Amino acid sequence: MDEVTYQAVTTITYLRNTVDRIVSLEAGWAPHLKNTDLRKADLEGANMSGVDFSGADLSEAKLETACLSKALLFNGKLSKAHLHRADMTGTYLHKAVLKEAVLIEAILANADCNEADFSDAKMAKADLTEGSFQEAIFKNAKMAGTVCTGAKFDDADLKAANLVRANFSFAFITNADLSYTTARHANFGEADCTGSVLTSADFTGAKLAGVNLRGVDLTGALLAEADLTGADLTNADLTAADLTNANFTGANLSGSNLNQITLSAATNLTGIWANQTNKPTNVRPEVAAAITYV
């Protein structure tokens, strides 16, 4: 980063953070730093709200606790950037690259991150509430404890991501790839996962009450002790899934494939049902006895 650019950035954040009158006068104004080279820049705690960083290179930049709310980072490069506790509320990160970025406890609520690349990013306890991450990539991302309530992950790639104790309640995760994902004790209550792939995913102890799993591939998935109360499993493939001690009370199993599933005496099949014209296949006797056809 050249000296002139560095001085401009540090001056902006100095004025915003220390001079109340200047801050009030410049309300609504934001500088343009498109396509600038800010690699490894030290901007910890900087106030960059609303700044246009479109196409800028912030790779390995230090942005801990920085304010980037409503900033424009379209096509931005933030690989290995340090964004611990950064405020990125409403930030525009469309097609941005954040590979291996550190986003622990960062705020991405209402952010537009469609088609962004978060591969191998560290995002533990980040806030993604109602953000848009459609077609985004989260391969191998560390997202334990993230809050994703109401967020959109349609067509996203979450393969092998760590979602332990994450909260995806009321999220939209249609046609997404969650194969080999670890989501032990995560909350997906009332989420829409229509058409997604959860092959060999680990949802042990997860909260899946009311979740829409229509047409989902759950082949080899671990659902032991999971709460699937009222879940819609219409046309889902549960081949070789582990349902030990799972709670299926009131679940819809219409057209589902139950081949080689693993059950236990504690698996709760109370009130499970299916459509008379779309019966589940490969049904074990204990499951067949519990199904009510409508």
Least confident of 5-9, 24-28, 40-44, 228-232: 24-28
What average pLDDT does this structure show over 211-221?
A: 98
pLDDT digits (tens, 9 = 90+) for 145-184: 999 999 999 999 999 999 999 999 999 999 999 999 999 9
pLDDT digits (tens, 9 = 90+) for 265-291: 999 999 999 999 999 999 999 999 999
Helices (H), ranges, 19-144 = 20-25
Residue of 188, 168, 266 whose CA lies nearest to 232: 188
- What pLDDT score was predicted for residue 7? 72
- What pLDDT score was predicted for residue 3? 75
Residue of 123, 33, 125, 28 whose CA lies nearest to 77: 33
pTM over 0.75: yes
Cα separation, 156 vs 131, in Å, equals 13
pLDDT digits (tens, 9 = 90+) for 16-58: 666 555 556 555 666 788 999 999 999 999 999 999 999 999 9
- What pLDDT score was predicted for residue 284? 92
Q: Three-class SS of residue 101? A: coil
Cα separation, 155 vs 9, in Å, equals 36
| Assigned token pair, 32 | 């343009």
Cα separation, 17 vs 11, in Å, equals 10
- What pLDDT score was predicted for residue 8? 76
Residues pairing with 67 in the sheet: 47, 87
Radius of gyration, alpha carbons of the chain? 23
- What pLDDT score was predicted for residue 22? 56
- What pLDDT score was predicted for residue 71? 95
- What pLDDT score was predicted for residue 2? 73
Q: In Å, how far are 119, 162, 247, 264 from 178, measured between CA atoms?
A: 14, 10, 21, 26
Tell me phi and psi for residue 21, to 5 degrees.
Answer: -65, -45
Above pLDDT 90, what percent of the chain? 88
| Assigned token pair, 201 | 């995913």
- What pLDDT score was predicted for residue 248? 97
- What pLDDT score was predicted for residue 32? 82
Cα separation, 132 vs 36, in Å, equals 26
DSSP structure string for 161-195: -B-TT-B-TT-B-TT-B-TT-B-TT-B-TT-B-TT
pLDDT digits (tens, 9 = 90+) for 109-124: 999 999 999 999 999 9
What average pLDDT does this structure show over 179-193?
A: 98
Above pLDDT 70, what percent of the chain? 94
* pLDDT > 80? residue 12: no
DSSP structure string for 230-281: T-B-TT-B-TT-B-TT-B-TT-B-TT-B-TT-B--TT-B-TT-EE-TTS--B
- What pLDDT score was predicted for residue 98? 98
What average pLDDT does this structure show over 70-78?
A: 97
DSSP state of 292: E
Cα separation, 234 vs 245, in Å, equals 21
Q: In Å, how far are 13, 35, 233 from 19, measured between CA atoms?
A: 10, 28, 58
| 128 contacts 109 by C-beta, under 8 angstroms | yes
Distance between the two ends of the chain, CA-based, in angstroms?
A: 67
Kindly report the average pLDDT of the chain as a whole number. 94
